[in-house]
Amino acid sequence: MEELKQSELGQKQPKKKSLKWLWIAIALIVVAGIAVWCTLNAIKIDGTLDSDGKVIQGLEKALTLGAFLCGLFLITTLGYMLGRITIKGVSLGTAGVFLVAILFGFLCTLIPEDMPLLGNFHLHAKDALKGISATTNLTLYKSAVQNVGLVMFVSSVGFIAGPKFFRSLKQNFKTYILMGALIIFSGTAVAVACSFIPAIGSKYAAGLLSGALTSTPGYSSALEASGDSGLVTLGYAVAYPFGVVGVVLFVQLMPKILKADMNYERSMLRADALVTVEKKQELFTCDDFGLMPIALAIVSGLVLGAITIPLSGNGYQEGAPVFSLGTTGGVLIMCLIFGHFGRIGKLSLEVPAKTAKVLREFGLVLFLAGAGVDGGVQLISQINANESGSMIVVYGLIIGAVMTIVPMVVGFLVGRKLLKLPLLNSLGSITGGMTSTPALGTLINTAETEDVASAYASTYPISLVLIVLACNLMIGLIP
């Protein structure tokens, strides 16, 4: 009888396989049908045929959107393939998406705008100088993709770290403040020293500092304090790539250099982040995937991040420096709070671990793709606009690399030798101190545990505040 059942099962397997391909074929047909329907409606609503029978406006919009989507997923595909290349156990990981995006942004500035079909991929480098974009593509990459990705990543990190964050912060409050302060101070010290070099100056140095520490709020603060200087933007664009890749490689190399026992390091990290689990009550859950709590926390965080505080006696007058947590800081703090409490009354705010992990990875990819494309366009446009040409970029690459390496080394030595932090706590704190979103994603994969997010989240806020103040003060006090 058993042999008969096995033979029957064996006969049924090909049918299941054929049904699988049938459903795939149906899904592809449905997707193709939706794409055609959207294109036809775009033409019907936004455009018509001119006297020569050429489709105008509507089809152009559809093709531009299609080029954007094609570019985004092409960057993701090639970026993951590049990130997968491993040399002696070290790989770029998700940071490969960033490097491919930079190259993609640069190449898109070279494509003639009037070229058939491929012209839809064109990105205007000249408009990047003014901080605007005449094409839908660059606007989508810079504003929509980058910001949405950043919010998704930060919110997922907040919910992952939230349950353990406040207990860990209470135990290591002084430690994380010291780590964050030392990392920012050492990077700022290098920037201040370099700002006295005639070819550099404070504006370019501030841009390099914000790029080396991958701090968008720091860059925005420096840009505002400098009166929208192109030197700040150039410094940020030059230093940002190594700022991303440098920290990603650092968190992978240090465990290998020290020949660390990762099982032991994970146990030390878990012991440090141990939390007393309370008895759960029956709560009302809006959805099984936890999307409602994330959405609510993001809205609350955006409101918090929009609050500005004057940094001078001039109050809110135009040009006066102000401080705000921004999108990143506001969303991170609110998601940490939501993740910590886990409920509002009888309403559950819990987010399943699988949902948080998927949002973290997807958000990181979107952020790196958007930031990379914009960085590639900005880099070329700023080089062409600057009088010193390529030499100022060479200086910036060297100085920016030093600004990235010195804070990491200082933070690691202080964390390990002076504060006696476990390895993964030190590395997690360094990713927070360097405000490096991609490096945290890499560290989580390297450590094979989400617990490192607590050290990142504990150090990040103090570093965020200090980098904004440092960039403001540099431009304000140094000629």
Summarised one tens digit per residue, pLDDT across range 339-364 is 888 888 888 888 888 888 888 888 88
Tell me the CATH number at 377: 1.20.1530
**Cβ(134)–Cβ(148) under 8 Å?**
no
Better-scored residue on pLDDT, 155 or 124: 155
Provide the pLDDT confidence category of residue 32 given band limits of 50, 70 and 90: low
pLDDT at position 24 is 64
**Cβ(143)–Cβ(128) under 8 Å?**
no
pLDDT at position 267 is 82
Which residue, among 187, 254, 166, has the nearest Cα to 439 in the 3D structure? 254
Q: Which two tokens stand for residue 478?
A: 């140094």
Does 27 score more than 50 pLDDT? yes
Q: What's the mean pLDDT in 74-81? A: 88
pLDDT at position 54 is 46
Domain with 133, as residue range(s), is 56-112+128-273+283-477
Task: Identify whether 10 is part of a domain.
Answer: no
Provide the pLDDT confidence category of residue 129 given band limits of 50, 70 and 90: very low
Distance CA 285, CA 165 (A): 23
Provide the pLDDT confidence category of residue 404 given band limits of 50, 70 and 90: very high
pLDDT in tens, 158-213: 887 777 767 766 667 778 888 888 999 999 999 999 888 877 888 888 889 988 98
Task: Identify whether 140 is part of a domain.
Answer: yes
Task: Identify whether 9 is part of a domain.
Answer: no
Q: Which two tokens stand for residue 423?
A: 């390895």
Task: Identify whether 299 is part of a domain.
Answer: yes
Task: Identify whether 295 is part of a domain.
Answer: yes
Better-scored residue on pLDDT, 329 or 183: 183
In the chain, % helix, strand, coil (3-state, to 5) comes to: 75, 5, 20
Would you give the end-to-end CA distance of the chain in angstroms?
A: 90
**Cβ(325)–Cβ(382) under 8 Å?**
no
Q: How many other C-beta atoms are found inside a 10 Å radius of the C-beta of residue 266? A: 18
Task: Identify whether 18 is part of a domain.
Answer: no
Put simply, whether the predicted model's pTM sits higher than 0.85 gets the answer no
Phi and psi angles of residue 389, each rounded to the nearest 5 degrees, phi first: 65, -135
pLDDT at position 133 is 42
CA atoms within 13 A on the CB side of 382: 24
Task: Identify whether 348 is part of a domain.
Answer: yes
Which helix (H) or strand (E) segment holds residue 201: the answer is helix 201-212
Does 289 score more than 90 pLDDT? no
Q: CA triplet 148, 246, 470: central angle to 5 degrees?
A: 70
Q: What is the CA radius of gyration of the chain?
A: 25
pLDDT at position 31 is 65
Better-scored residue on pLDDT, 39 or 163: 163
pLDDT at position 280 is 52
Does 39 score more than 80 pLDDT? no
Task: Identify whether 364 is part of a domain.
Answer: yes
Return the exposure string of 240-258: e unless at least 16 CB atoms fall within 10 Å of the residue's CB, then b: bbbbbbbbbbbbbebbeee
Given the DSSP bridges, would you call strands 86-87 and 90-91 parallel, antiparallel or unpaired?
Answer: antiparallel
pLDDT at position 230 is 66
Dihedral class, residue 188 (left if φ above 0, else alpha if ψ from -120 to 50, else beta) = alpha
Q: Which amino acid is at 63?
A: L
Q: How many other C-beta atoms are found inside a 10 Å radius of the C-beta of residue 61? A: 18
Dihedral class, residue 117 (left if φ above 0, else alpha if ψ from -120 to 50, else beta) = left
pLDDT at position 311 is 65
Does 13 score more than 50 pLDDT? no
SS3 category, 361: helix
* 162-166, 208-212, 365-369, 428-432: range with lowest mean pLDDT: 162-166
Please report, for the chain, how many H helices and E strands are present, in that order: 17, 6
Contacts by 133-138 with C-beta closer than 8 Å and gap 24+? 135/64, 136/61, 136/64, 136/65, 136/68, 137/64, 137/67, 137/68, 137/71, 137/108, 138/373, 138/374, 138/377
pLDDT at position 137 is 62
How many independent structural domains does the chain possess? 1
Q: Which two tokens stand for residue 361?
A: 């990875």
**Cβ(316)–Cβ(308) under 8 Å?**
yes
Does 224 score more than 90 pLDDT? no
**Cβ(344)–Cβ(196) under 8 Å?**
no
pLDDT at position 403 is 93
pLDDT at position 42 is 46
* 133-142, 294-303, 372-381: range with lowest mean pLDDT: 133-142
Average pLDDT, the chain: 75
**Cβ(214)–Cβ(243) under 8 Å?**
yes
Which residue, among 348, 345, 341, 306, has the nearest Cα to 325 in the 3D structure? 306
Better-scored residue on pLDDT, 8 or 304: 304
Does 150 score more than 70 pLDDT? yes
Q: How many other C-beta atoms are found inside a 10 Å radius of the C-beta of residue 453? A: 31
Q: Which two tokens stand for residue 158?
A: 């907040």
Provide the pLDDT confidence category of residue 135 given band limits of 50, 70 and 90: very low
Better-scored residue on pLDDT, 188 or 29: 188
Better-scored residue on pLDDT, 168 or 475: 475
